[in-house]
């Protein structure tokens, strides 16, 4: 566990930079993580991010397939929004822990 400064906030992150306390998250932090990943956030990005945060808060496991069925965008669309990491990068920006792909 480590502390990182994102935007101007000090937050708890894991070794890979995923936030460990989703309630420390805000939009400025999201923008900071996104720009590190080379992603410019649009409303569509935020729809996905909000969906991820809601699902995480409800204790639901997340998969690319599930987000692809959310009605916000399909899987191809997710790849366009978050190239190379449709779930990994979106989760990182959403300030939730890295989705544990099931064992």
Segment near other proteins (CB under 8 A); pick from 17-25, 33-41, 43-51, 76-84: 76-84
Closer residue to other proteins, CB minimum distance, 38 or 102: 102
Taken as a whole, the chain contains a residue count of 103
Residues 6+ apart with CB under 8 A from 95: 19, 22, 24, 25, 29, 30, 33, 53
Active-site pick, 1, 58, 100, 102: 102
- By CB under 8 A, tell whether 76 contacts other proteins: yes
* Residues 80-99 contacting other proteins, CB under 8 A: 83-86, 88
How far apart (Å, rounded) are the C-alpha atoms in residues 61 and 57? 10
Q: Does 17 bind other proteins (CB under 8 A)?
A: no
């Amino acid at each position: 566990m480590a502390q990182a400064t994102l935007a101007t906030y000090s937050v708890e992150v894991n070794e890979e930079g995923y936030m460990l306390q989703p309630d420390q998250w805000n939009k400025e932090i999201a923008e900071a993580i996104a720009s590190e990943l080379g992603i410019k956030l649009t409303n569509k990005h935020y729809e996905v991010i909000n969906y991820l945060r809601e699902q995480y808060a409800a204790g639901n496991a997340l998969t690319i397939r599930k987000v692809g069925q959310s009605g916000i965008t399909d899987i191809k669309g997710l790849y366009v929004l978050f190239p190379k990491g449709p779930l990994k990068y979106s989760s990182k920006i959403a300030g939730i822990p890295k989705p544990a792909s099931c064992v």
